[in-house]
Structure 1
Amino acid sequence: MTSAKPKRVINMEEFGRQLARRRAELGITDADIPRNSGTRRTESKKALLKAIKDAGGNW
């Protein structure tokens, strides 16, 4: 069975702008959002995050 209603397409660029604007209005910063502890990360995910860090990224 399929839905009779057409699915709404979300423009991710606009969504990002709306989200940033709302976070600014509420005074929410990245420091307010808890990071994942990473206790259940796979070895491949750990390697990926290390490669990002080694390349100068900040994940």
Structure 2
Amino acid sequence: MVSKTSSNQSAISLADFGQDVARRRAAAGDVVVPRNAGIRRTESKRALLAAINDADGLW
């Protein structure tokens, strides 16, 4: 089945895609994404994250 919304562009190889991603990452620099503050976390989620932290895990 052919997608009705896709363009006529041909597929690119995974190697080419990887090179393009690497080039874009290098151009963008180190992007720092802030962590979620966790203001609306449920008690069960807080307990899970605390247990992971107690087990020296990084979440």
TM-score by length of 1: 0.52
Q: 5+ residue gaps in structure 1?
A: 7-13
Aligned position for 1:33: 33
Aligned position for 2:42: 42
Please report the RMSD computed on the Cα atoms of aligned residues, expressed in angstroms: 2.6
Structure 1 residue 48 displacement after superposition: 0.5
1:34 and 1:27 map into 2 onto residues whose CA distance is 16
Q: 5+ residue gaps in structure 2?
A: 4-13
58 and 5 in structure 1: CA distance in 2 versus 1, 3 angstrom threshold: same
Question: What percentage of aligned pairs have identical amino acids?
Answer: 52
How many aligned positions are there?
A: 42
